[in-house]
A and B are shown apart, each in its own frame.
Chain A
Amino acid sequence: MKGVRHYPGFLGITIACLVVLYAPLIVVTIYSFNDSNSITSWGGFSWRWYADVFTGPEADRFAAAAWNSITIAFLAATASTAIAVAAALAMIRGGRFKGKSATYALINLPLLVPEIVTAVATLIFFSTIGLTTGYLTILIAHITFCIPFAYLPIAARLSGIEETYEQAARDLYATRAQAFWLILLPLLMPGVISGYLLAFIISLDDFIITNFVKGAGMETLPTAIFGSVKQGIKPNIMAISTLMLAVSVLFVTLSYLVNRIGQKTRT
């Protein structure tokens, strides 16, 4: 008898679950170091496809797409984090106000609607207001759907910070602004960093919405990769995928560690 928490086979299923989740990623990472021209046979270890990404025939295209992806992710994460902080303050510190539950539903809307519907709606919107699809439309769309991802960790952190800290600061002669910048924001920081990193990744990773609103000639890394994959999986795609995978894992790990440190400083 191992107690009511134990069920035989659940460990096995969990491990199988992890294998299914990681096997494709690990296989692609391994094959990105394949020296062979064919993706089927193993020709020994090599960095050649990584070199190909940076200097090969498609290097310019990937470089431009990467530049777009990174600058958009940076701007979208910054803007959506700022909006998410303001929204979290209004929702959690703003007391009761009219339309609060509607606002809450609105913030989480991008999480509930299928991405392709958001994509269609956004494209139609830009087309109606006459905004030419391109960098700007991608950026606006990214800011919009990044907000809930930035909002969640920030709101979680904020609701864990008691209001007495701000009141104590106000009691000790701090103005509203000083109480925010000197007390609340430092306490909120783990949530803000975590939200920023998640928004950054979500922006960097998005394909469906970007594909709809990017317009002709404009590429981000995911759309560039999609374009190449349509003609078959080539080794250089595996190298670039592995690089993006590494960036994602790095960011999520950072976000996770920041949260852990944040939990330790919680009083």
Chain B
Amino acid sequence: MIGVFLLIPVLLMAVYSFLTKEFRGGVIWDFTLAAYDQFFFNRGLFGDEPPVIEWTYISIFWRSIWQAALATVACLLVGFPTAWFIATRPPSQRSVWLFLITIPYWVNLLIRTVSLKFLIRDNGPLNEFLMGLGVITDPLPLVNTNLAVQLGLFYSYLPFMVLPIYAAVERYNFALSEAAADLYAPRWTILREVVLPVVKPGVVAGCLLVFVPSLGAFLAPDLLGGAKTYMIGSLIDEQFKGSQGNWPFGAAVAVVLMTLVLIALFLQARAAAKGARE
């Protein structure tokens, strides 16, 4: 089922990215590199000037990578302590804590994103609350900023960071920390020198699980961001909507995105294999 309805489509998508676009959406079966050419080069309005590198789409990718990376770091900074805290609870309490962390993940992403937008909008409860406290006098303009998009990504994928790190910390042998403490290592040194290297596979898995979906995210940038926060997801989405669409170009963008993801996965797999050998 997956073979037919996912693997073949992905291959087909790669084929599409080499076809010629038809106006009103759809394609003509003529093989061309036009889509990739459009992605990387600018040949002027009429396509007859010498090619110069086209920064529009590359910068969208760059911004997406940057946003996703920031969201990943934020998730790590919050997710690691949370995972550690849960894994050091008595076993009977752990599943309750984990359950609390996972519930939001199972709530519709769209609804969560809309809820977040409702909360942080200019006249929303968060601003009213802060103004009521007298912390600020004018509403914080959060919506349509990079910060809002990062917050949305952070909020969307935080459980993905907590769960693999939790799994790694739960297996962690605390006698290692005790041995380090016995050998005069202070608390935070133990965390850095002993714990982190041992639970690294869980941390790497968590980072990947946040980074990959963040990179291709659509809802958070679309609903929480504006023109300035345009990300890959929206760029792809636009190519398949209405008569402005360009299917081969959309497919090409998706192929580039998937290539990035596969490179990230490959690097992780290689690091994991190296870790296993050691």
Contacts and interface: CB of A to CB of B under 8 A. Distances in A.
Contacts of B142: none
A144 B215 CA distance: 22
B39 interface: no
Interface residues of A, number: 74
Contacts of B106: 198, 201, 205, 248-249, 251-252
Interface in A97-151: 106-107, 109-110, 112-118, 120-125, 127-128, 140-141, 143-145, 147
A154 interface: no
Nearest to B219: A207
B104 interface: yes
A124 B16 CA distance: 8
Interface in B145-202: 154-155, 158-159, 162, 174, 177-178, 180-181, 187, 190-191
Interface string B8-31: 111011001000000000100000
Contact of B78 (A11, A16, A110): A16
Contacts, number: 223
Nearest to A144: B5
B135 interface: no
Interface of chain A: mostly helix, strand, loop or mixed: helix
A14 B82 contact: yes
A154 B90 CA distance: 27
Given A17-B79, A121-B254, A225-B111, 17 more contacts: A10-B84, A20-B154, A21-B101, A31-B125, A109-B6, A113-B10, A116-B237, A120-B250, A122-B6, A141-B5, A226-B110, A229-B114, A233-B121, A238-B118, A241-B114, A248-B106, A256-B95
Interface of B: 1-3, 5-10, 12-13, 16, 26, 78-79, 81-82, 84-86, 88, 95, 97, 99-104, 106-112, 114-119, 121, 123-125, 154-155, 158-159, 162, 174, 177-178, 180-181, 187, 190-191, 212-213, 215-219, 223, 232-233, 236-237, 240, 247, 250-251, 254, 257-258, 261, 265
Interface of A: 4-7, 9-11, 13-14, 16-18, 20-25, 27-28, 31, 39-40, 80, 83, 106-107, 109-110, 112-118, 120-125, 127-128, 140-141, 143-145, 147, 198, 201, 204-205, 207-208, 211-212, 222, 225-226, 229, 233, 237-238, 241, 244-245, 248-249, 251-252, 256, 260
